[in-house]
């Protein structure tokens, strides 16, 4: 990957600037500084999109022709080299000042969004419990004719939980299809973990189960670097290729979601009948300044049904899905537990595939309407800037019978020597809510309420009567000596339970 050029004093620089800037009849304010990133995130390349009206487009094309590396016709953006003597900042400012470009931003070097893997089997696929996967699988386990794709570091081609579902893919770094020798084998491990979330084969006595037991998996390898780093343009190229070659949905678990080229790529894929999904990121950033219409941006939740501390959030986020300690397929044929919006995103990709399997004649808009409408509403009522439409619920997505009522548990801060309050909502008005705690989580039947609690050796610490709105609160005193203790809490009524919340005494 070329390093950006920062040389000075080149005799061609003056004529270069004249070529770029003149004539500039429609002067605009320069964009904000782009290169506030680390130097290793800059590639010496830009992604630029001309204005879509003539004669502006023709003038823009004339300006960039000497530096064009590649053109993507459907979104109509160009990958161009940063001319010698300029930086990404100065080139973007010069192009945008002409008024002939919709956007100009670096072709960023993006990285996979997975955290360091944890101990194998730690999570034990808790995410299927909160997404009600088993109820969904009573309706459908997927469609073996549906193609789901992901753009990543490749895939373990011989993994026993994946191999039988793989179809030929593409190497977007080399621009070579697998059938023509393009390498799609995993060179990092991240891509194999993502694949298992979408469609690890279920009910086969091997390893783990993906959202879909039956689905065609189309791998797109976007990098030849062992650390997984990739050009943003190669990520976009991979997504475009996948949908053009039959994928109904394609997800990207990398950085880079905030750049306009992602939006125009999503528009192109949507127009072709597909769905593009992208990870929100793991930097706890408020993504307040953009909201792409045709890109599903996914944040992460923990097994307490709360946003993880590290998941990005904000106006851009459309929904959330489990992303903490996700047990999935590992490079080498095994399993491991991983964390990141990298894994929330393919779980949502899998949900799109499952909804489409249950409604094969639907359009992409109808599928997404169902995806969002079936999410469990978390946080403040309605769509919000933390959880979007809510957390993916597979059973509601396929209209599974026997769905339990939605019960939600919140709490105030746990401070040693003070009282704290637990509040359950969405319960039966005039009923009784039971509150439980335990130091560990895991399934435990509770016959008196006809539910399965998510706690190991749960202790009931109180009950409360619900009001007319279906809410019940219980206040408890936290002893002074409990500072630093951590337990899980859960609320339940007859045939309904909440998610788990982590109580960490300060």
- Judge whether 116 lies within some domain: no
Last residue of a domain, one of 337, 371, 397: 397
pLDDT of residue 188: 96
412 inside domain = yes
The distance in angstroms from the start CA to the end CA of the chain is 47
- 55 prior amide bond cis, ω within 30: yes
Residues 6+ apart with CB under 8 A from 164: 201
Q: Give 56-71 as a 3 state SS string.
A: HHHHHHHHHHHHEEEE
Write the DSSP symbol of residue 489.
E
Q: Which of 119, 192, 111 is nearest to 156 (CA)?
A: 192
Domain of residue 336, CATH code: 3.40.50.200
CA distance 143 to 214: 5
pLDDT at 53 (0 to 100): 96
Q: CA-CA distance, 231 to 229, in Å (whole number)?
A: 7
Q: Which residues contact 197 (CB under 8 A, 6 or more apart)?
A: 210, 211, 326, 328, 343, 346, 347, 349, 350
Residues 107, 34 contacting (CB under 8 angstroms): no
How far out from the chain centre does Cα 134 lie?
22
Same domain, 370 and 500: no
Q: Which pLDDT belongs to residue 206?
A: 82
386 is in which domain, residue-wise?
126-397
Are 162 and 64 contained in the same domain? no
Chain centroid, CA 339 distance in Å:
12
Residue 6 in any domain: the answer is no
Q: Which CATH number do you get for residue 483? A: 2.60.40
Helix or strand holding residue 197 (H, E): helix 190-199
Q: Note whether 140 and 341 are within 8 A (CB).
A: no
Could you tell me where the beta strands, DSSP code E, fall in 302-457? 319-322, 326-329, 335-338, 408-411, 419-425, 432-438, 441-446, 451-455
Determine, yes or no, domain membership for 3: no
249 bridge partner residues = 148, 275
Q: Are 322 and 127 in contact (CB under 8 A)?
A: yes
Residue 207: the pLDDT is 80
* Residue 54 is assigned to a structural domain of this protein: yes
CA atoms within 13 A on the CB side of 174: 17
Q: Where are the alpha helices (DSSP H) in 320-410?
A: 341-358, 364-373, 394-397
Question: Is 166 within a domain?
Answer: yes
Burial 235-248 (b: 16+ CB within 10 A, else e): bbbbbbbbbebebb
**Res 472: pLDDT:** 97
141 and 95 part of one domain = no
The residue behind tokens 């040693």 is 416
Q: Nearest-CA neighbor of 326 among 190, 451, 224, 436? A: 190
| Inter-helix orientation angle 13-21/88-97, to 10° | 40
Helix (H) or strand (E) holding 426: none
Within this chain, do residues 382 and 427 fall inside the same structural domain, yes or no? no
- Is 163 strand, coil or helix? helix
The sign one gets for the Cα dihedral 300, 306, 312, 313 is positive
pLDDT for residue 227 = 94
What is the rounded CA–CA span in Å between residue 273 and residue 256?
Answer: 23
Residue 98 and residue 155 in one domain: no
199 close to 353: Cβ distance less than 8 angstroms: yes
Pairing relation of β-strands 101-106 and 45-50? Answer: antiparallel
The pLDDT value recorded for residue 119 is 39
**Do both 384 and 438 map to the same domain?**
no
* The pLDDT value given to residue 203: 86
In a domain, 43, yes or no: yes
Instruction: Provide the domain count of the chain.
Output: 3
Q: Within this chain, do residues 154 and 229 fall inside the same structural domain, yes or no?
A: yes
State whether 210 and 331 are in the same domain. Answer: yes
Give a yes or no: residue 271 inside a domain. yes
Nearest by Cα to 229 from 295, 285, 168, 173:
173
Do residue 206 and residue 141 come from a single domain? Answer: yes
Look at residues 351, 372, 397 and tell me which one is the last residue of a structural domain: 397
Domain check: are 413 and 391 in the same one? no
176 and 84, same structural domain?
A: no
Please state the φ and ψ torsions of residue 189, each to the nearest 5 degrees. 110, -25
- State which of 341, 365, 397 marks the end of a domain: 397
161 and 196 part of one domain = yes
Contact 45, 82 (CB under 8 A): yes
Residue segments in the chain with a per-residue pLDDT below the cut of 70:
1-39, 114-123, 381, 404-405
């Amino acid at each position: 990957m070329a390093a950006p050029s920062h040389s000075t004093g080149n005799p061609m620089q003056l004529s270069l600037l004249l070529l770029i800037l003149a004539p500039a009849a429609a002067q605009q304010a320069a964009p904000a500084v782009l290169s506030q990133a680390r130097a290793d995130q800059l590639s010496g390349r830009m992604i630029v999109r001309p204005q879509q009206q003539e004669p502006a487009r023709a003038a823009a094309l004339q300006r960039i022709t000497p530096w064009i590396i590649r053109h993507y016709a459907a979104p109509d953006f160009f990958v161009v080299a940063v001319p010698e003597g300029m930086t990404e900042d100065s080139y973007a400012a010069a192009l945008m000042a002409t008024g002939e470009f919709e956007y100009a931003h670096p072709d960023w070097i993006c990285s996979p969004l997975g955290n360091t893997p944890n101990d194998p089997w730690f999570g034990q696929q808790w995410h299927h419990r909160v997404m009600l996967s088993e109820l969904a699988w009573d309706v459908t386990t997927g469609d073996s004719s549906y193609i789901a794709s992901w753009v990543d570091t490749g895939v373990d081609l011989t993994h026993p939980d994946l191999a039988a579902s793989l179809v030929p893919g593409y190497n977007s770094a080399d621009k070579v299809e697998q059938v023509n020798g393009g390498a799609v084998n995993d060179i990092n491990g991240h891509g194999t973990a993502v694949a298992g979330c979408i469609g690890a084969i279920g009910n086969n006595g091997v390893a783990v189960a993906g959202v879909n037991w039956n689905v065609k998996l189309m791998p797109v390898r976007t990098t030849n670097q062992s650390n997984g780093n990739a050009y943003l343009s190669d990520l976009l190229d991979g997504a475009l290729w996948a949908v053009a070659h039959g994928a109904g949905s394609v997800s990207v678990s990398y950085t880079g979601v905030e750049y306009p080229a992602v939006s125009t790529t999503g528009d192109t894929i949507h127009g072709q009948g597909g769905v593009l999904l992208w990870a929100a990121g793991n930097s706890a950033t408020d993504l307040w300044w953009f909201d792409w219409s045709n890109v599903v941006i996914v944040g992460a939740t923990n097994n307490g049904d709360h946003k993880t501390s590290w998941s990005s959030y904000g106006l851009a986020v459309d929904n959330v899905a489990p992303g903490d300690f996700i047990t999935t397929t590992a490079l080498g044929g095994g399993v491991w537990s991983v964390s990141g919006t990298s894994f929330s995103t393919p779980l949502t990709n899998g949900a799109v595939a499952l909804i489409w399997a249950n409604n094969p004649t639907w359009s992409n808009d109808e599928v997404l309407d169902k995806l969002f409408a079936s999410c469990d509403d978390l946080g403040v009522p309605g769509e919000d800037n933390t959880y979007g439409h809510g957390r993916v619920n597979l059973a509601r997505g396929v209209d599974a019978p026997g769905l339990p009522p939605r019960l939600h548990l919140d709490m105030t801060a746990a401070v040693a020597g003070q009282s704290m309050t637990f509040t359950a909502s969405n319960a039966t008005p005039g009923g009784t809510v039971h509150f439980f705690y335990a130091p560990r989580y895991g399934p435990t039947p509770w016959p008196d309420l006809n539910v399965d609690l998510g706690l190991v050796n749960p202790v009931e610490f109180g009950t409360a009567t619900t009001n007319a709105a279906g809410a019940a609160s219980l206040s408890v005193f936290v002893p002074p000596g409990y500072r630093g203790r951590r337990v899980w809490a859960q609320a339940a009524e007859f045939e309904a339970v909440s998610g788990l919340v982590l109580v960490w005494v300060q």
